[in-house]
Chains A and B, each alone.
Chain A
């Protein structure tokens, strides 16, 4: 099996080089043929041998540039030299290597061929190197993002876990001292924190659906009203007291997306709005569209976000800010995950302040 495989793959790579050789040969012959044709036409009109040689030189440069290695350019320079001698130097249609200056012409063409192919080879190599370096840089950037996310997550997960472990331990050990009300409070803390943990885990799971980071989600056409209603129902289950008003266009809009991921984005945005805007006014969630794009808006009428935080709010770095409060924990991760999801859908996510609060919105392409 492995032998067969190795043989096969060797065969495949051989085939590949054959194919490259074949293409190079084709380019060489085609350009030489073209140069000869043009020269013949030109010769017919003006009888000027000097310009004919120039045409061949031009073909030579192009061949050296387009083919890989030295073989074809040397070959072309020889063929070119012979063609000039044979067709355009007196006596015509016969080879004479003895007349004065001819070896110089031939040597000159060879030199041009060699220098041009050297230059183009090194250029190709440099381009390859640049592309490799770019790839490495992107890879490193991705790695860095992943590491940052991991650090943020483990930090954020520890807080609710501490509270859960603390509350449950105190319930178990002080069972006989605590009164019913205190017990109730402890358990409701556990409930609240585990719900928060669950949300975090859902977010993380949704990121694992995006393989290789960029633009690689499995999309299918989904109706936006169904996605929104799912997000709203999930939110109502999590925060039964949340005030929310939702509006979708009258016509049915279906756009390609991974519905679970977009639902997660909507859920995160609406949940953030409910938890952090500190307003009793309902969150307004609506959709509008242009010819090619659909925009989802989540607008709150709350305390707003300071401008210097707005600019970095999607970077996932918000949590490291000096506002070490529990109130904003995890908000940074949630939003950076939203951004990852929307970017993977080739969309855009943004935030702006309006008179009475903040509005998050994201744009998705219709096709």
Chain B
């Protein structure tokens, strides 16, 4: 890495901030920390980081407002840090424009994985390389978006039109969580009923075709109350 990837951490808990800064610096990232939203926002405008780690419970500003402010002028990936039981807050953050979230408490490996995924997706946006030109590939599952072809360890899998739409959306955003609302409006259009039962039924069908055991999924994971996350693309 010639030019170091810069990450801004906005977090008011000093201990957590230190832990993240130490582990991420050891991984070769350049870390800038801010203890509140105001200084965080001004640091973002002056440093133009590659990624933002944002704690939702800041003393001076609501996390959602911070996301709104950043999204007003930039598409820098934002990873939200939040507690386990606050699903509504997470969904709201994701629908406001955050790229992903990580649940407190988390280990270093989880943090690295989220950061890698977010950076990968933003790089693709910046360079203009379209994922759809290249098939998704992970652990024997290959999805060819152009040919509408899905194979699992060489065997072709037949999906309905809607099922294919859902899985392509998840695969193109592999490693990231997609909220129910995002999936529904992408597959059924913006005016679709926001009742997510139909999505669950389709997802159950997809799982029965893809997974060995639907209760122990390998490719598509559920984030309860939030959405779905697909196994990260191994090829890219």
Contacts and interface: CB of A to CB of B under 8 A. Distances in A.
B105 A248 contact: no
Contact of B204 (A225, A233, A259, A263): A225
A223 B85 CA distance: 19
Contact of A202 (B84, B200, B221): B84
Contacts of A233: 221
Interface string A230-245: 1011000000000000
B109 to A, nearest CB: 10
A221 interface: yes
A227 B214 CA distance: 11
B87 interface: yes
How many B residues touch the partner, as a band? 20 to 34
Interface in B193-236: 197, 200-201, 203-204, 207-208, 213-217, 221-225
A254 B216 contact: no
Nearest to B200: A223
Contacts of B203: 223, 226
A227 B85 CA distance: 15
Determine the main DSSP class of A at the interface with B.
Answer: helix
A248 B84 contact: no
Given A209-B85, A254-B200, A246 B216 contact: yes
B219 to A, nearest CB: 12
B197 A205 contact: no
A224 to B, nearest CB: 9
Contacts of B204: 223, 225, 252
By CB atoms of chain A within 10 A, which of B203, B217, B224, B225 has the most? B224
Contacts of B84: 202, 205, 260
A260 B214 contact: no
B215 A228 contact: yes
A272 interface: no
Contacts of A222: 224
How many A residues touch the partner, as a band? 20 to 34
B224 A260 contact: yes
B85 A260 contact: yes
A202 B224 CA distance: 15
Given A223-B204, A227-B224, A260 B216 contact: no
Contacts of A221: 197, 200
A21 interface: no
A13 B93 CA distance: 45
B222 A229 contact: yes
Interface string B79-122: 00000110100000000000000000100000000000000000
B200 A252 contact: yes
A42 B133 CA distance: 95
A229 B203 CA distance: 14
Contacts of B222: 226, 229-230
B215 A229 contact: yes
A249 B133 CA distance: 38
6 contacts: A226-B222, A232-B216, A246-B213, A246-B216, A250-B208, A260-B87
